[in-house]
Amino acid sequence: MDEKRYFQGEDGVKLAYRRWTPVQSTRNTPVVLLHGAASNATRWWHFVKHSRLTNDRLLLRPDLRGHGESLWRGPARIDDWSQDIVGMLRHEQQTHAVVVGHCLGANIALNFASRFPDMCAGLVLIEPMAREAVTGILVWLRRLLPALHLALGWIKLLNRLGIYRRRLGTLDLELLDRRLHEANTTQLKEMLADYGSPWHDIKTMPTVQYLGNLIELMQPLPVAAVHCPCLVIQSRGRSIADAKCTQIVLAVLPQVEFVTIDSDHWLPATHPDHLCELIDTWVLENPIPR
């Protein structure tokens, strides 16, 4: 059964998440699914429909603070998102979980594992973003971080004065992904451009959160403080990040496996079945504590 739920963050902010309850009541370790930058919990629509984990695992998919139905115009940093995961797990009366994250969600998962090691039973990192490995336009973004911080400060001031967009669009990634799966080769390239387009993203989230996402993507990854088992799934394409460089950064993780798929970024959209099988197999076959 899939249902929408809410919980309060540590600061009282109302946050939304989706909860998949398995038919069989078990004590298996639950799985938390974290979406990426400028995204929301609908990112995992295909996984919940097709994963073998739905048989006997609790699946929790939050709209991260500032995204989807967790509307928030205040600060939203990686530390805040990590603390919100703790709040969601406590709300569900869960002591620990396997955390799966895509893109920014993978970076958040690493931060969560480093800050709350007893609550993280394992990690699946899909296209994590190491700032040392970014390519293309993200290289310029890294250089422009001071300007982004300045712009963020001005937008926060305008928000406090009551100047912000009252209406935001909705982002249903199931609808977007299904169109992608039906597209021909030419249409595929055009549609994938929408997934990374700032003009597309900014329509569905507060500007302050969009800029905050970009800034948080450039934070260093706390790999030295993570000690749980980890699976890293990367795309071979170099439009967003270099897989080989990312692997060098993450190779210091003590229990890590790497899988590379011949694709560009956006693996949950372009290779959902392959991704689902990799996650299922790793979670089911690893000796993760129950």
- Tens-place pLDDT, residues 166-223: 889 889 999 989 988 887 766 777 777 778 788 888 889 999 999 999 999 999 999 9
φ and ψ at 32, to 5 degrees?
Answer: -105, 130
**Cβ neighbour number for residue 183 with a 10 Å cutoff:** 14
What is the predicted pLDDT for the residue at 288?
67
pLDDT tens string 65-94: 999 999 998 888 999 999 999 999 999 999
CA 133 vs CA 127, 225, 250: distances in Å: 11, 20, 11
| Distance in angstroms (rounded) separating the CA atoms of residues 171 and 166 | 16
**Cβ atoms of 92 and 62 closer than 8 Å:** no
Residue labelled with tokens 């006997």: 56
What is the predicted pLDDT for the residue at 24?
76
Closest CA to 37 of 136, 85, 103, 100: 103
What is the predicted pLDDT for the residue at 247?
97
Q: Which residues lie closer than 8 Å to 218 by C-beta, 6 or more apart?
A: 131, 134, 141, 142, 145
Using a pLDDT cut of 70, give the percent of the chain over it.
Answer: 98
What is the predicted pLDDT for the residue at 81?
98
pLDDT tier at 137, thresholds 50, 70, 90: confident
pLDDT average, residue stretch 39-49: 97
pLDDT average, residue stretch 249-267: 93
**Cβ neighbour number for residue 20 with a 10 Å cutoff:** 21
Q: Give the pTM.
A: 0.95
Q: Is the pLDDT of residue 290 over 70?
A: no
**Cβ neighbour number for residue 54 with a 10 Å cutoff:** 19
CATH numbers and ranges of domains, the chain: 2-285 (3.40.50.1820)
Q: What is the mean pLDDT of the chain?
A: 92
The mean-pLDDT minimum among 15-24, 58-67, 186-195 falls in 186-195
What is the predicted pLDDT for the residue at 180?
86
**Cβ atoms of 64 and 70 closer than 8 Å:** yes
In sequence order, what are the beta bridge partners of 230? 123, 256
